[in-house]
Structure 1
Amino acid sequence: MARLAGSVSEGSRLDPLAVAVHPTLPRIARPRRWLLGLYLVSALLVTLQQGVLHQSNNFRVFRSATINLFARRDLYAAHPEQHVDFYKYSPTFALLFLPFAWLPFALALLAWNLLNALLLYYALLRLLPGRPGVSALALVYLELLLSMQYTQSNALVTASMILAFLALERGRQLGAAAWIALGTFIKLFPLAGVALALCHPRRWRFALILAGLAVALAALPLVVVSPDALAAQYRSWRAIEAADTLNRGYSLMQYLYMWFGADWPNWPVQLAGTALLVAPLALGRARWSDAAFRRLVLCSVLVYVVLFNHQSERATFVIAYTGIVVWCVGSAPSRLKTAILALTLLVMVVHDVEIVPRWVKSEILIPYRIKGVPCVVAWFAIQAELFATALRSESAGTALPGTAPEPRGA
């Protein structure tokens, strides 16, 4: 143990943002390779389950959307001959999904699962080099597995938000804007990543780049459909999204209704949550050059997009739980973080693993939306830490490991 500790530099042991395993450690001490194997095998097994033994309805929805786009059909109408449920993603996503619609079902699903698993694996190791990254990969594994079993895009969305953050840390505005824009046209959640740019210079330039990419991606389906047909698709998308606004899912609005009987529209709570999200950024301009503060904002955004989204569902929590895990393992430990992480893992296990009787899930866990409770606790704890940090006048001026600090300016 002494030799192992000695292989880590003194600076790395003191700075939780820079803890990393020394490259000369023996292979047996590198569990990230085992985790990579676990992620790959899990993608293969889920493909066998959802693509060979059974064909996932969600994946049929995605594939059918691409077919319907090329056939000039309404993407958002019911297509019972193709699948159950409705398509709720953008027309652009239907076009981008073309490679997965062209391949045979099982092979396409394998490629989709590998894309989700490996991009999240890569993003977390880039965000948290060394041991913290390995810990994060292990802790979010169950949520990644659940998302893959639902053949959802949530791991991909999580990775896009993290990679946008890392691009901003390196001053690569085009890359950051591309990840946010691309993620937004997969699922709207990454749009909240715009808040991450507020801590960086040349914000107006970033806004213009993002707007340009958004327009380009919105118009991308014009390569296969006419302008009138594309406009009709966007009207149908807006209509189906508007019809869904009465839902609460696993959002904070649902908890306010269950706990306090607050039968409010969703938008006032979402507006209040957004104000709470950005308030520490407005108050803590002196902290913008602090890498720990910026990463704390990332954690807050990852939880926020699930907690305040009325469409949140069980498979969505890989996004929020990743934010909680990064907050807990990527910064200085505390009893509060340990308690919240323990609560998160407990809820994750009882929800995702068949270790409790089915009646417990059907009568307690699902009706009472237990899976979102750790997110409520964690988000307000993260916000409290952000406010406390923002109100300190001094700035550390640090950079994340592997990044160069940007020149601060307007």
Structure 2
Amino acid sequence: QFNIIIAAIIIASFYCIEKEKDITAACFIMIGTFVKLYGIVGLAFFFFSKHKVKFVAALIGWTVLFFVLPMAITSPEYIIDQYKEWHVSLAGKNMENMFSNMQNQSLLGLVRKISHVSTYSDLWLIVPGVLLFCYPYLRIRQYGNLAFRYAFLASVLMFVVLFSTGSESSTYIIALLGVALWYVTAPWKRSRWDVALMVFAFILTSMSPSDLFPAFIRKNYVQPYALKALPCVLIWFKLVYEMMTKDYSTPQNVSEEK
């Protein structure tokens, strides 16, 4: 499975931007994009870069290099044809994943499989999801807080899984890293509801594919209805709400949430 590498690439791109190594960050983002497309979400950290022009220039440079490099052992026509076929394959796979038991274990699949409706476009969910994801960017004054930037990293790690029809059980190594970051990096004490969400994620998201989880429930409910995604969906919405409302500079009293 390559998913752990994708998670590492996303985290590495964030780390490099934090350390002002924008060229290296751009390299990680483009490697992740060319290998499995998921790496493109590293662009979400663009606004945290202190060298945006250099970052954009590096992105363009690495893109051209990684696109042209395989042509040295093949030909331009072959590489271009491969990308065309890749696009067609992804479109076909998206249709196949729609009601697959093992694929589309995401927010998109959760809604699709519970509703049993195939006629609507996933864009009805993806577009509002992107708007929610982007809304915290408006809180420019929070950019200086490391905890806020960690929250964005956590959001990216969950978003890329929850809004992909290609998400499967093993893909959640990416989302669960985001869940862990959400819990441990907040500059306030977590409430009992947050603890309950973590336990819920551990039981349903992490343990449901294993033999420690009742097979009957897994085969008849968790997989067919993409319930594995549910805890991460709830946590992501909670995270977005926190990013839109909380002050990440100082610890806060959460007694009102208990």
- Normalised by the length of structure 2, the TM-score is 0.87
Distance apart, 1:396 and its partner CA = 4.1
Distance apart, 1:305 and its partner CA = 0.1
Structure 2 residue aligned with 1:185: 34
CA–CA distance in structure 2, aligned partners of residues 172 and 155 of structure 1: 22
Number of positions where the alignment pairs a residue of Structure 1 with one of Structure 2: 241
CA–CA distance in structure 2, aligned partners of residues 200 and 290 of structure 1: 14
Q: Taking every aligned residue pair, what percent have the same amino acid on both sides? A: 28
Q: Which amino acid aligns with 2:241?
A: A
Q: Alignment partner of 1:309: what SS?
A: coil
Q: Which amino acid aligns with 2:108?
A: M
Q: 1:326 to 1:225 in 2, by over 3 A?
A: same
CA–CA distance in structure 2, aligned partners of residues 337 and 207 of structure 1: 37
Can you list the C-alpha shifts for 1:203-256, whole angstroms capped at 9, x where unaligned? 233122112212211222112101111111111111101212333412222222
Structure 1 residue aligned with 2:255: none
RMSD of aligned Cα (Å) = 1.9
Q: 1:260 to 1:367 in 2, by over 3 A?
A: closer
**Structure whose CA Rg is larger:** 1
Correspondence 1:303-382 to 2 at 5 A: 303-331=158-186, 332=188, 333-382=190-239
Distance apart, 1:356 and its partner CA = 3.4
CA–CA distance in structure 2, aligned partners of residues 311 and 378 of structure 1: 20
Q: 1:356 to 1:324 in 2, by over 3 A?
A: closer
Distance apart, 1:265 and its partner CA = 0.9
Query: Conserved in 2, the CA contact under 8 Å of 1:200 and 1:288?
Result: no
Q: Which amino acid aligns with 2:230?
A: V
Structure 2 residue aligned with 1:272: 128
Q: 1:349 to 1:270 in 2, by over 3 A?
A: closer
Structure 2 residue aligned with 1:298: 153
CA–CA distance in structure 2, aligned partners of residues 325 and 197 of structure 1: 23
Residue segments in structure 1 that go unaligned for 5+ positions in a row: 1-151, 398-410
Query: Conserved in 1, the CA contact under 8 Å of 2:147 and 2:185?
Result: no
Distance apart, 1:287 and its partner CA = 0.9
Residue segments in structure 2 that go unaligned for 5+ positions in a row: 99-103, 251-258
Q: 1:256 to 1:209 in 2, by over 3 A?
A: same
Structure 2 residue aligned with 1:107: none
Runs of 4+ in 1 over 3 A off after TM superposition: 258-263
CA–CA distance in structure 2, aligned partners of residues 261 and 362 of structure 1: 17
Q: Alignment partner of 2:94: what SS?
A: coil
